A and B are shown apart, each in its own frame.
Chain A
Amino acid sequence: GAVVSQHPSRVICKSGTSVKIECRSLDFQATTMFWYRQFPKQSLMLMATSNEGSKATYEQGVEKDKFLINHASLTLSTLTVTSAHPEDSSFYICSARVAGAFGNQPQHFGDGTRLSIL
């Protein structure tokens, strides 16, 4: 159980393109999802916390107009990288937390999206 699906797994596109990444919880509901960015051999850096039905909370230094997050349902959050440039190339990973769970719970991760901007 607790499967998170992330799509697409890989994107290669030209500079200036906007790219949308989907994160779905397949067998549970998630009021909270998280978006991370990971560079090679580095840690996961939290970009934002996505809350169903409300605005996302962005970490310091993350441009909210650059990385648009929508969490329209209890099973889907999307991250749109707007007008992507080569420096946005990275591995983007989402995770979800089971809705209604109290206290400290693990996060369930998708398999990531490798974004390459030419």
Chain B
Amino acid sequence: SQKIEQNSEALNIQEGKTATLTCNYTNYSPAYLQWYRQDPGRGPVFLLLIRENEKEKRKERLKVTFDTTLKQSLFHITASQPADSATYLCALDGMDSSYKLIFGSGTRLLVRP
């Protein structure tokens, strides 16, 4: 069955450093992949979408890569700030016509001042 894995352990980094989060998937060939941010008690907020034919996508301090051979996406936040502390979720399309998303369990990022 389809499986999406994100590191369940929190990532703890110093302010100013680059945070790198990983999303791996198996038994799956998604057409696109999305990253969301979720703060405690809130709904997810869309950050970036990358398609299978795109290797990399950038938005301000954010960068996403998508390697369909490795079945992996990396999410980078450069010059991290304490305000970047949140849980980051990757999501893949459901491979049908419903446009539904299948979410990973998320990785919590803590940026120390």
Task: Show the binding face of A for B, using Cβ within 8 Å.
Answer: 4, 6, 32, 34, 36, 41-44, 46, 49, 57, 91, 93, 95, 97, 104-112, 114
In the bound assembly, the distance between CA atoms of A114 and B42 in angstroms comes to: 10
Contact A104 B51 (CB under 8 A): yes
Partner of B103, one of A44, A57, A104: A44
Evaluate contact between B106 and A107: CB separation under 8 angstroms: no
| Closest residue of A by beta carbon distance from B32 | A104
Q: Which residues of the other chain, B, contact A97 by a CB distance below 8 angstroms?
A: 99
Residues of B7-44 at the interface with A, using a CB-CB cut-off of 8 Å, are: 31-32, 34, 36, 41-44
Residues of B within 8 A of A111 (CB): 41-43
- Grouping DSSP codes into helix (H, G, I), strand (E, B) and loop, the A interface class, with mixed when no group exceeds half, is strand
Pair A43/B99 contact, Cβ less than 8 Å: no
B residues 45-79 near A (Cβ < 8 Å) are 45-46, 49, 51
Q: Which chain A residue shows the least CB distance to B105?
A: A43
Q: A105: which B residues are within 8 A, CB to CB?
A: 49, 99
Residues of B within 8 A of A (CB): 31-32, 34, 36, 41-46, 49, 51, 89, 93, 98-106
Q: 6 smallest A-B Cβ distances: which pairs?
A: A109-B43, A106-B46, A43-B105, A104-B32, A44-B103, A43-B103
Residue of B nearest to A46 (CB): B100
Which residues in B have their C-beta under 8 angstroms from that of A44? Answer: 44, 89, 103
Q: List 17 A-B contacts (CB under 8 A).
A: A4-B43, A32-B98, A34-B100, A36-B103, A43-B89, A43-B103, A43-B105, A44-B44, A46-B101, A95-B43, A95-B44, A104-B32, A104-B51, A105-B99, A109-B43, A110-B43, A112-B41
Docked-complex contact A42 and B43, CB < 8 angstroms:
no
CA distance A42 to B30 in the complex (A): 22
Shortest distance from the beta carbon of B80 to any chain A beta carbon, whole Å:
22
B31, B46, B51: the one contacting A107 at CB < 8 Å is B46
Which residues does chain B contribute within 8 Å of A106, judged by CB atoms? 34, 46, 49
Chain A residues with Cβ below 8 Å from B41 are: 91, 111-112, 114
Q: How far is the CB of B38 from chain A (nearest CB, A)?
A: 8
Contact of B42 among A41, A46, A112 (CB under 8 A): A112
